[in-house]
Structure 1
Amino acid sequence: MTYRSSCHCGNVAIEVEGTIDQAISCNCSICQRKGSLLWFVPKAQSKLLTDDANAATYLFNKHLIRHRFCKTCGMHPYAEGKDPKGNEMVAVNVRCIEGIDLASVPVMEYDGRSK
């Protein structure tokens, strides 16, 4: 299935191919504040639909995840990083996917605050 995740104003959008079998709710200092529900997919299964310059990047803690957000509306539709094996990944904010029924997505709690 192909999904589109975008910011509120549409200046940052990404298309992702895959099956949403679960989303991660992380309690780290940034995810908790954003309220993100993250779906991790290999970067090769994603395609940026808008100009990369439309998104700003925020790095914190160990600088392992590039949190991408819209310079205009501030929404965070996705992030980029690597999994523990070094594979490039995209963390899609499921709350920014168009037309999705959030109640149908199982959510797993992740203790990012303690990591």
Structure 2
Amino acid sequence: MRYQASCHCGRNVFEFDGELKEALACNCSMCQRRGSLLAFVPRTALHLKTPEEASKVYTFHKHAIRHHFCPECGIHLYGEARHPKTGEAMAAVNIRCVEGLDLHTVPVREFDGRSLP
């Protein structure tokens, strides 16, 4: 299925392909503050409808994940990184940005990112 998503102000628009079987709620220092719910898809399944330059990137800790956010409204859009086991390029999409999605229909799995080294 293809999902449509955007930030609050509409400056950043994207689509992604996949099935939303679950979302991840992480408690690391970043995710706890921003409150996003993440669904993981291959980076090739993420399709930007606005130029990547419309977003800004933030990295922290090991600087392995590129966190994209809107510089206008501040909404976290998605993160990009390589899968630690396979090396595949992945995207962690904030499903709170998906248009018309009833979040209560997506099971949420808690992840203890705070305890990672």
1:69-88 equivalence runs, <5 A: 69-84=69-84, 85-88=86-89
- The reply on whether 1:114 has 2:94 as its aligned counterpart is no
What does the per-residue CA deviation read over 1:18-75, in whole Å, with 9 as the maximum and x for residues that have no partner? Answer: 1000000000000000001000000111111101111000000001110000111110
Report if the CA contact (8 A) 1:17-1:46 is conserved. Answer: yes
Describe the SS at the equivalent of 1:77: strand
Aligned-residue CA RMSD (Å): 0.7
Offset of residue 5 of structure 1: 1.9
Distance 1:97 1:36 in 2: 12
Q: Give the aligned length.
A: 115
Distance 1:14 1:91 in 2: 13
Distance 2:13 2:57 in 1: 14
Report if the CA contact (8 A) 1:2-1:16 is conserved. Answer: yes
Distance 1:110 1:13 in 2: 27
Structure 1 unmatched ranges of 5 or more: none
What does the per-residue CA deviation read over 1:61-111, in whole Å, with 9 as the maximum and x for residues that have no partner? Answer: 001110000111110111111111210001100111110010000000000
Describe the SS at the equivalent of 1:3: strand
Distance 1:91 1:61 in 2: 17
TM-score by length of 2: 0.96
Distance 2:99 2:68 in 1: 18
Distance 2:81 2:12 in 1: 18
Percent identity over the alignment?
52
Describe the SS at the equivalent of 2:76: coil
